[in-house]
Amino acid sequence: MIGVSSSSRSFTSLGRYLVAGRDGNAEGRIAWSSGRNLPTSDPELAAKIMRATASQNVRVAQPVYHLALSFDPRDIVDRAAMERVADRVLAELKLNQHQAIIVAHGDRAHPHMHILINRVHPETGRVWDRWQDYPLIQRALREEERALGLRQVETARAVDRDGGVGGSIAVDAGAQKQAAKHREPVGRELLAAIREDLATHDRVSQFGQQRFAAERDVSGAQAKRDQIESAIRRYNRSESALDGSLARAYQDPHAAKAAFLAAADKNGERDAARMMREKPEVFGPVRIVGRQTSAGAAQPPEAIAAVREAAGYGLEFLAARREIGKLLERQHHGAMPARQGIEAAREMVAGGVAVARGRLESIRQAERTLPSQDRLELRLAQRLRQLSLPEFEKLRLMLTPPHVSLTYKLRQMVRDAALGRDGEQ
């Protein structure tokens, strides 16, 4: 950006010029205008208000202070960025409490704006001294260039009254050479640091993906362990209930259990349970001998209840055995004896959980040696905003497409944060 300042006597003539230019043609000239410490954003009305304010101090000969700020034609800036720059310059000059009107023009190829300022303070009547204003303006512009990612001005150039770029202002040639001498290696070091940060960003992203996969493996192993443990509890609970009811119903409950399981394997679970309810003697001698009646042998109520209970628990046990059998087949890729398979499954899933947790902890330890992704991206953004446009273009040619996309995103993030857009959707 280029900034040029001047002082003059007439608010009215400068206000008229900002609206209509030298030829008096106002059409399409003003893109927007905005007042500071004024009740209006109309340039000519603002000039009249400032003239009335300045008239309170009769000793000031040139109450008008005029700033022309121009951006590079290749810079894409919107109103928010331009107003930010204007407010920063006013604050740097300690003119933020003075009356001012910012007028942006849209009649040139490059974005530019004018600031008409009243040197007389609206409340104290004191006159602002413009001595040493140039270095303050340049400092503010250089810092805003870096903050907004704009093209940085290497040498000071003059701007005509209408915001156009004129000839170069003479500067110390020796100082320019010295600055150039030191700038190039700094640029190379900065580019190298950015490329190193991008490589680190890749490692952080890879570890993040590996950690996500490891966390998923831990969750899967724990879910498998919980599923098997639940099936084992159901298996043990139903077998215990079946054994208890068979002990109350049969003289030899172990033989009755074996016969019941064999019938279930041969005829089906429901047929085996129905047979136990209707013909319990098929599975072995019943513990309580029935009494003889005119209708023949009959079981007492205690025996009937115990047999029916055994049939119900038998179905539950068979379902639990079937469930755990499927789990063991998936775990061992083949059928195994129940007790042996249960203990082996327990050991295997516990080992799977331990392995998954160990892999996850290893990834987390590796991540602790690297900066967090948020901190790394902040550092990258801060370094990227220090690059001039040629340096950024040079960097872009060295990068892979994903890295180019990331650098553009981070540069835009810095600009949005600088403009107060970081909370916008």
At 121-168, the pLDDT tens digits run 999 999 999 888 888 999 999 999 988 988 876 544 434 444 444 433
- SS3 labels along 178-246: HHHHHHHHHHHHHHHHHHHHHHHHHHHHHHHHHHHHHHHHHHHHHHHHHHHHHHHHHHHHHHHHHHHHH
Region class of 184: left (phi > 0), else alpha (psi between -120 and 50), else beta: alpha
**pTM for this entry:** 0.46
For the record, the structure tokens of 241 come out as 């209930």
Q: Between 297 and 246, name the one with better pLDDT.
A: 246
Domains and CATH numbers, the chain: 2-171 (3.30.930.30), 177-207+370-418 (no CATH), 211-368 (no CATH)
Which amino acid, residue 235?
Answer: Y
Least confident piece of the model among 28-37, 41-50, 82-91, 144-153: 144-153
Strands (DSSP E) found in 289-393: 291-293, 296-298
Q: Between 423 and 54, name the one with better pLDDT.
A: 54
| pLDDT tens digits for range 167-188 | 333 333 443 444 444 444 446 7
pLDDT, position 183: 43
pLDDT at 248 over 60: yes
Q: Say which residue the tokens 């944060």 belong to.
A: 417
pLDDT (mean) for 56-80: 90
Instruction: List the alpha helices (DSSP H) in 60-152.
Output: 79-92, 133-148
pLDDT (mean) for 259-284: 91
* Rounded Cα–Cα distance for residues 384 and 411 (Å): 6
Three-state SS at 250: strand
pLDDT (mean) for 60-67: 93
For the record, the structure tokens of 350 come out as 């516990």
| pLDDT tens digits for range 299-341 | 556 777 888 899 999 999 999 888 877 776 665 544 444 566 6
Q: Do 280 and 286 form a contact (C-beta atoms < 8 A)? A: yes
Q: Do 201 and 373 form a contact (C-beta atoms < 8 A)? A: yes
* Rounded Cα–Cα distance for residues 86 and 64 (Å): 17
Q: Name the average pLDDT for the chain.
A: 82
pLDDT (mean) for 243-253: 91
